[in-house]
Amino acid sequence: MDLVSCIRNVPDFPKKGIGFKDITTLVGNGPALQQSIRLLKQKYNDQKIDAVIGIESRGFIFAAVLAHEWGIGMIPVRKPGKLPYKKISETYELEYGTDTLEMHEDAVSAGQKVLIVDDLLATGGTAKATAHLVERLGAKVAGFGFVVELDFLRGRDNLSTYRVESLVHYDSE
């Protein structure tokens, strides 16, 4: 199954000139969802992963299934105010302004090895902030797993000290 054909391109979302890669059509297709999970699993089957981090909120979808497949826990990284317990936060730069992500302070333990999962790698700001959260708690980032990578935004350069695996690549909008 060709995963690219399962991703819908939505022009001008969320703003004019941006071609949004809509993965709801992939997730809504049973065989495509299974294939994307099979491929992400294969990429990291050589590692002993202790937990899978999912970045709010489409990242939850793939992170949860991967964690379940491996029989390990899934840990949400969320926008401010969503997590109920004690947490740490990381603020990062956007093109205009900043954004913040939070993680429960007891979500990972020192020495654990975690995989960070999101649906899409764009500029890598969110991904890098998530890695910092993990590392501040003393855990190790085994790598990143993305379904889609927008190569032309060069997010991979932002994550150059990490292993980055993506299933589908786009060279341009």
Q: What is the CA radius of gyration of the chain?
A: 15
List the Cα angle 113/83/69 in 5-degree steps.
40
Active site residue 58: yes
Type of residue found at 86: K
Binding flag, residue 68, its own copies (CB under 8 A): yes
> Based on CB atoms, which residue is closest to its own copies, 39 or 158?
39
Q: Is-contact 135 103, C-beta < 8 A?
A: no
Dihedral (C-alpha) 12, 18, 24, 25: value to the nearest 10 degrees? 80
Q: Which of 44, 60, 144, 170 binds its own copies (CB under 8 A)?
A: 60
Active site residue 136: no
Q: Which of 44, 62, 146, 170 binds its own copies (CB under 8 A)?
A: 62
Q: How many chain residues are in contact with its own copies, going by CB under 8 A?
A: 41
Binding flag, residue 84, its own copies (CB under 8 A): yes
Q: Is the dihedral of CA 81, 85, 86, 92 positive or negative?
A: negative
Q: Which of 3, 104, 146, 159 binds its own copies (CB under 8 A)?
A: 104
Coil, strand or helix: which one is 60? helix
Q: Residue 58: which of 35, 83, 28 has the closest Cα?
A: 28
Q: Which of 107, 129, 133, 142 binds its own copies (CB under 8 A)?
A: 107
Read off φ and ψ for residue 54, nearest 5 degrees. -110, 130
Q: Which of 1, 8, 48, 173 binds its own copies (CB under 8 A)?
A: 8
Residue range at the interface with its own copies (CB under 8 A); choices 17-25, 93-101, 140-148, 153-161? 17-25
Please state, in angstroms and rounded to a whole number, the distance separating the CA atoms of residues 133 and 128.
Answer: 9
Q: By the criterion CB under 8 A, which residues form the site for its own copies?
A: 8, 10, 13-14, 20, 22, 24, 27-31, 33-34, 37, 51, 54, 56-58, 60-62, 64-65, 67-68, 70-76, 81-85, 104, 107
Catalytic amino acids?
58, 95
